[in-house]
Amino acid sequence: MKKIFIALTAAMLVLTLCACGDDSSSDSKSSKSEAPAVSSAVEESKTEESKTEQTSDAKVSALNTALAKVKEQITMPAETNDYSVKRIKRTFGIEESQMEDFAGMYCTDGVIQDQLLYITAKTDEDVAFIEQKFKDHLESVYNVIKNYTPEQVAVIEAAKVITDGRTVSLVISADADKIRAIFNGEA
């Protein structure tokens, strides 16, 4: 009986340790695994929905295409991960139900604060909510960094929350203008 109890306890401990992993790597994995599902869902919705909704699907692919171009043209100052739904909720408090689409990435080293995130909101109310969450996040990042890494302060001070229709963006980067140009289709 004791041997069985010890074996079960050991198995539970192993399972517990397996469940506890590096959270940033799970964000990266989840964003990579979500991409094919999003693509296939977009393709299915194009065949089943009206032209109005197909226009928003075109915007979905435009955000992802723009992010891919940013990755090709901009060298981030530190290693990055793509934003996932889980990471957006944890970082900004924005629910998946409030987003029609998103694309973005962030530096993972904890010192370099470079990040970019574009979210297309589902409703006008969601636009206002996302704008405020981005502004709150920007202020929070500034308040933390201003005392620790003064070289990052200028980059954070130059960052802007920009709204274009239902798409809200936050870009914190020395290359912010170039990143915005890529997302706007100007580069």
* Phi, psi values for residue 170, rounded to 5°: -135, 120
Q: What is the pLDDT of residue 152?
A: 87
Quickly state the pLDDT bin for 146 (edges 50, 70, 90).
confident
Q: What is the pLDDT of residue 28?
A: 43
For residue 45, pLDDT beyond 70: no
Q: What is the pLDDT of residue 18?
A: 59
